[in-house]
Structure 1
Amino acid sequence: MKLLSYFSLFLVLLTAKTNAQNTPAPIKLVQIMLTADYPDWNYKLNEEATIKVSVLKYGSPVENVEIEYQYGPEQLNPEKKGTLALANGVGEINIGTMNIPGFRQLRVQTKIDGYVYKNEINVGFAPFEIKPTVNLPKDFDAFWEKAKAENSKIPMDAVVNHKSELSTANVDVYLVRLQNYKLGQYFYGYLSKPKDDKKHPVLFNPPGAGVKKIVPVTTYAEKGFISFTTEIHGVSPEINDADFESTRAKLKDYWAIHLDDKNNYYYKKVYLDGVRAIDFLTSLPEFDQKNIVVTGGSQGGALTIVAAGIDKRVNYIASFYPALSDNTGYLNNRSAGWPFMFSDKYQNNTPEKIKTMEYYDVVNFARKISIPGFYSTGYNDNTCSPTSTLSAFNSVKASKEIVITPISAHWRFAETDDKSIQWLQEKCGIE
């Protein structure tokens, strides 16, 4: 038995050593640096953009390297493709200009020692003048007021179970099930509450896109909020793997379900889930009776804006690169955001589907916002394009501020995340 134990220990140590020897590198051996003329990557209309290209190995230029490049309007077919020889590893590419507000994109790649290295850059032309392409239906407000009134008749039927195994020294975690939209239809969320028996602002944290099992988020509770992190598909995080995979398969491209019927479109339930989440949070005895905030990114960023536009109880929001923004962009010869529903990939551009989307496009909820908001996006985001996210941001008439980190793609820096939480804390009077 002792010999077996020593042998097991040897295998553990050997595995640990092997893993340590094969830790993936956090950076590429060869890097392609793309530098715009301006540090904010913003240009005036009709001003030509010249991008400096540097191919670096160990931080030094690679001599006699050839690159392939293509450029044109963001996420559309490139206007020009070509190659460029860089004798000293450094060169420039003029990617042209725009006479209307928007973005141009340069993509570059090179092959060195059999490995392909890539990079890209999106630069803006008068980006804060970008206007949305989506129409606002005349009965938009009436449509959503009716939907909320009908939804309010559905009992919440809240089931709240404490999860000691998920709780921390400072935060209690609960799994919550709420009824919404139809009798017998539910969605789930993790509630996180500070363990201090005090009153707190409440924070709704809607999810990003996809069908995933949610996990508790205790960060906001650690920062002084009672937070509620939800899913949108009625999938309990405690579902067994087989049933989960079956459900996920059925909900592939869920954003397209009943897209031709505004009264039964998939996102109608989802948007009303947000209202129900706020119903639940404001019913809690620990709610401070003053501050209701919403924050999320991507689809969660979209649902954040929707919540502020549809529910006047919300006081403050922090939205990151919102999806579902200006979906008709592709019908107007420019990029749109996730899920690219009217792009050539999906062939969805029927009159019925376009009309339905007008009632669900995030831009139209942004137009309705009347509260202060914190927003953030990056220019290299190919999932929620800056053209689409700025269409939404520029449509907000209320007090707002935005943090743009041009280099970021469909993610955000910790510094920006920290700034958003600090902004929400200050607004809610959390010290």
Structure 2
Amino acid sequence: MIDELWKDYVPESTRESDFDAFWEETKLESKKQPLEVRLTDIPYPISSIHAQKLTFNGFNGTDIAGFYLKPDSVKENLPCLLVLHGYGGNKGSIANYAKYLMMGYAVVALDTRGHGESANGSYPAGGTGSWVTQGILDPRTYYYRHVYMDVIRAMDVIETLPELDHERIVIYGASMGGGIALAVAGLDNRASFVIADVPNMCDLPLAIQLKMEGSLVSVEQFLRQYPNQLKQVFKTLSYFDNKNLVENINCPVRFSAGGKDSICPPQTIYGVYNLITTEKDIIYYPFSGHDLPGSISHTDHLITMLSEYVTERVTES
């Protein structure tokens, strides 16, 4: 059922000559900024869940908010699931994470900057009213530079929590969250497992060319307004495109893709998947769209993967 034209498709790199230096300087800049972690208890009617609101300084001091959730029965050596939501969404309800807590995970669920309870920061350009175009004329001011670093800083936060097993950090995201998960794993080697459902930020020139739906439509709108900025926009995007980031991933990765997905088309996802050299797997649903992560069968598949991962790691240790 997979189109042979893109099952083996490998996109060309669009890395700029200063790509690695750009990210090394960005990470160094982030490390110099204080985290200022704040945890506040949240009264919750399910007594087996210890719920806290997490707040910390994201990149350039922007307040990032989320949940820190633990199963009350386990006090130490907890594997951690770092959960990242989709574009325009938020971290949702504590109840959404009960299944992971029942499996023995602690959960850090973030609101991406500009979403939910997280602040957005300020950006010098981006006239379409969408996060994806904010600061897009310079990679140093671009929205996703801040987003990727916010999540790397969340990894820094996780390392300050002594009850967590810092060798068992799983990043899970869908759509925008899946794209961020891949980028962070490419920039930071602390994740031990990554699950990226229908990820965005994959092979961006092709994704925009396909004229699909979703956040990248705002990039098209921006370019219609400012056609003279075409070269600069694609240069900026190249620093954040997962096809240029994933070659450094060193942990197992699990993908999903939907054949009818008009927001994160499978061609772009397979292109990035084919570039990964570590242990990997992809599950393809030929008749599913972008709502794939919420389907019953895929939810059960996700739970099975997470359960097997915990069992395997405990056995190894």
* TM category, shorter: 0.7 to 0.9
The answer on whether the counterparts of 2:158 and 2:166 sit within 8 Å (CA) in structure 1 is: no
How much has 1:211 moved relative to structure 2?
5.6
1:359 maps to which residue? 239
Query: Paired residue for 1:292, among 143, 166, 169?
Result: 169
> What residue number does 1:400 align with?
280
Rg larger in 1 or in 2? 1
Of 391, 397, 403, the residue aligned with 2:271 is 391
CA RMSD after TM alignment: 2.6
Q: 1:191-220 deviations in whole A, cap 9, x for unaligned?
A: 111112232111111121016474334232
As a proportion of its length, which structure holds more strand? 1
What amino acid maps onto 1:181 in structure 2? F
Whose helix proportion is higher, 1 or 2?
Answer: 2
Tell me which amino acid in the other structure corresponds to 2:85: P
For 1:359, give the aligned amino acid: Y
**Superposed counterparts of 1:2-401, under 5 Å:** 41-42=1-2, 124-133=3-12, 135-165=14-44, 168-183=46-61, 185-196=62-73, 197-210=75-88, 212=90, 214-216=92-94, 217-218=96-97, 219-233=99-113, 237=117, 252-329=129-206, 334=210, 338-340=214-216, 345-347=221-223, 350-401=230-281
1:300 Cα deviation after fit: 0.6
From 299, 303, 311, the equivalent of 1:429 is 311
What secondary structure sits across from 2:260 in the alignment? coil
- The answer to whether structure 1 residue 416 and structure 2 residue 298 are counterparts is yes
Paired letter, 1:397: T
Q: 1:182 to 1:343 in 2, by over 3 A?
A: closer
Cα distance in 1 between the residues matched to 2:259 and 2:194: 21
Structure 1 Cα separation of the partners of residues 88 and 105 of structure 2? 26
CA shift for structure 1 position 138: 3.0
Contact (CA 8 Å) 2:196, 2:255: kept in 1 or not?
yes
Change (3 A) 1:174 1:316: same
**Superposition deviation, residue 168 in structure 1:** 2.1
Aligned to 1:37: none
In structure 2, relative to structure 1, the CA distance for the partners of 1:338 and 1:325 (3 Å cut) is farther
SS across alignment from 1:398 = coil
Sequence identity percentage: 24
Matched residue SS, 1:387? helix
Q: Which has the higher contact order (CA 8 A, sep 6+)?
A: 2
TM-score by length of structure 2 reads 0.85
Note closer, same or farther for the CA distance 1:213–1:301 as it changes in structure 2 (3 Å cut).
closer
**Cα separation, 2, equivalents of 1:328 and 1:238:** 29
Mapped contact 1:327–1:337 kept (Cα < 8 A): no
Partner-residue secondary structure (3-state), 1:294: strand
Amino acid at match of 1:316: F
Hey, what's the Cα distance between the residues in 2 that align with 1:401 and 1:329?
A: 22
Q: How many residues align?
A: 297
- Report the Cα offset of residue 158 of structure 1: 1.1
Distance in 1 (CA, whole Å) between partners of 2:80 and 2:172 is: 11
Q: 1:342 to 1:306 in 2, by over 3 A?
A: same
Note the C-alpha offset of 1:180.
1.9
Normalising by structure 1, we get a TM-score of 0.64
List structure 1 runs of 4+ shifted beyond 3 angstroms: 211-215, 234-239, 333-338, 341-346
Q: Deviations over 1:186-245 (max 9, x none)?
A: 110111111122321111111210164743342322221111111122556499xxxxxx
- Report Cα offsets for 1:48-77 as digits up to 9, x if no partner: xxxxxxxxxxxxxxxxxxxxxxxxxxxxxx
CA contact (8 A) 1:327 1:342 kept: no
Counterpart residue identity of residue 165, structure 2: D
CA shift at 1:371, angstroms?
Answer: 1.3
Against the structure 1 CA distance between its residues 132 and 338, is the aligned structure 2 distance closer, same or farther, given a 3 Å change threshold?
farther
Q: Counterparts of 2:136 and 2:244 in 1: how far apart (Å)?
A: 17
In 1, Cα distance between equivalents of 2:219 and 2:129: 17
